[in-house]
Amino acid sequence: MTKVAVSTGVIDSWDDAKGFGFIQIPGQKQQVFLHISAFTRQSLRPQTGNRVQFHLTKDKQGKWRADKAQLLSGGTIKSSRKINCSSSRFSIAIALSFIVILTISYSLQHIPLWLLLYFISASLVTFFAYGWDKRSARKSRWRVSELKLHLLSVAGGWPGALLAQQWLRHKSAKGRFKFILWLTISINLALIYLVHRPELNTLLS
């Protein structure tokens, strides 16, 4: 590996059972892979929100990872976690509420069955696409591009995208990605509104 510099950041996600996670460097979009073996003489187990100092390196595949890491004093960054927790509940509520509204609409015969099944299927495909991308990122394998993830959201899979962001903790720290995701949600909802205008309603019957 090629050593680049000594950096500091915050552990954005951490899987203690598997012993690895990702570091978010302030002002940077790309997250850094962190393995438990990168810590030297560390008595405490790392956890999400810990501040950490490390050597920024590249592996043989050219991926950024942390080496010679150590936890910094000052404890866990709690304020950002509280904001994220509130945002997480809001996103999950929006996604589940949308599916519930579609289900009620179908039961009242306001929408056809195929439309309900379409959104559920699109959400499942999108959720698994996020899961695949996160797994690929950890194993330095082929990734699902952000463009494809956004296209899946525009196509109706955005409830699955919101759930994946929060439950899988993937693509949840990148401000630009989240902005575009909510833009795709707005576009999708606008399309639903246009399709359900009275003059086009007969097409769904």
pLDDT tens sequence across 114-171: 999 999 999 999 999 999 988 877 666 777 888 999 999 999 999 999 999 888 877 7
Q: Are residues 44 and 118 in the same domain?
A: no
pLDDT reported for residue 47: 83
Question: What is the C-alpha separation between 1 and 155, in angstroms, rounded?
Answer: 41
Q: Are residues 156 and 72 in the same domain?
A: no
Question: What is the C-alpha separation between 139 and 114, in angstroms, rounded?
Answer: 37
pLDDT classification of 99: cutoffs 50, 70, 90: very high
Q: Are residues 145 and 171 in the same domain?
A: yes
Question: What is the C-alpha separation between 110 and 204, in angstroms, rounded?
Answer: 10
Q: Are residues 68 and 138 in the same domain?
A: no
Q: Are residues 20 and 96 in the same domain?
A: no
Do the bridges between strand 2-15 and strand 50-58 make them parallel or antiparallel, or are there none, so unpaired? Answer: antiparallel
Helix, strand, or coil (residue 5) = strand
C-alpha closest to that of 34 among 83, 71, 76 = 71
User: Which residue bears the tokens 């589940």?
Assistant: 96
Q: Are residues 193 and 116 in the same domain?
A: yes
Q: Are residues 142 and 44 in the same domain?
A: no
Decide which of 55, 76, 97 is a domain's last residue: 76
Specify the number of domains making up the chain: 2
Domain that holds residue 141: 79-204
Question: What is the C-alpha separation between 122 and 168, in angstroms, rounded?
Answer: 17
Q: Are residues 101 and 175 in the same domain?
A: yes
Question: Is 80 exceeded by the pLDDT of residue 27?
Answer: no
Question: What is the C-alpha separation between 123 and 137, in angstroms, rounded?
Answer: 21
Decide which of 50, 76, 102 is a domain's last residue: 76
Decide which of 60, 76, 92 is a domain's last residue: 76
Q: Which CATH number fits the domain that encloses residue 10?
A: 2.40.50.140
pLDDT classification of 4: cutoffs 50, 70, 90: low
> Are the beta carbons of 22 and 13 closer than 8 angstroms?
yes
Question: Is 50 exceeded by the pLDDT of residue 82?
Answer: no
Question: What is the C-alpha separation between 96 and 183, in angstroms, rounded?
Answer: 18
Q: Are residues 185 and 118 in the same domain?
A: yes
Helix, strand, or coil (residue 174) = coil
pLDDT classification of 107: cutoffs 50, 70, 90: very high
Q: Are residues 107 and 140 in the same domain?
A: yes
Instruction: State residue 56 phi and psi, 5-degree precision.
Output: -85, 120
State the average pLDDT over residues 82-101: 80
Q: Are residues 64 and 96 in the same domain?
A: no
Q: Are residues 139 and 101 in the same domain?
A: yes
